[in-house]
Amino acid sequence: MKFPWPGRRQPPPETFRVLLVCMGNICRSPMAEGVLRQRLAVRQLALPVEVDSAGTHGYHEGAPPDPRAQSAALRRGVDISKLRARRVDEVDFIRFDLVLAMDEENRKALLEAAAEEYHGKIRLMLEYAPERIPRSIPDPYYGGQTGFERVLDMVEESMAGLLDELERLSTEKARHLAGHNPSPP
Number of domains in the chain: 1
Could you tell me if residue 17 is inside a domain? Answer: no
List the catalytic residues: 22, 28, 139
Give me Rg for the CA atoms of the chain: 16
* CATH of residue 140: 3.40.50.2300
Could you tell me if residue 6 is inside a domain? Answer: no
- What is the span of the domain harbouring residue 75? 22-178
**Per-residue pLDDT of the chain in tens (185 residues, 90 and over written 9):** 233 444 445 556 688 999 999 999 999 999 999 999 999 999 888 889 999 999 999 999 999 999 999 999 999 999 999 999 999 999 999 999 999 999 999 999 999 999 999 999 999 999 999 888 888 999 999 999 999 999 999 999 999 999 999 999 888 888 888 886 544 43
The confidence score (pLDDT) of residue 2 equals: 32
Could you tell me if residue 114 is inside a domain? Answer: yes
Could you tell me if residue 52 is inside a domain? Answer: yes
pTM > 0.75 = yes
Instruction: Assess contact for 18 and 170: CB atoms under 8 A.
Output: no
Specify which residues 50 forms β-bridges with. Answer: 17
Could you tell me if residue 10 is inside a domain? Answer: no
The confidence score (pLDDT) of residue 129 equals: 95
Q: How many Cβ atoms are within 10 Å of 100's Cβ, its own excluded?
A: 27
The confidence score (pLDDT) of residue 65 equals: 98
Could you tell me if residue 153 is inside a domain? Answer: yes
Could you tell me if residue 14 is inside a domain? Answer: no
The confidence score (pLDDT) of residue 1 equals: 26
Separation of alpha carbons 119 and 121, rounded Å: 5
Could you tell me if residue 15 is inside a domain? Answer: no
The confidence score (pLDDT) of residue 80 equals: 98
The confidence score (pLDDT) of residue 180 equals: 65
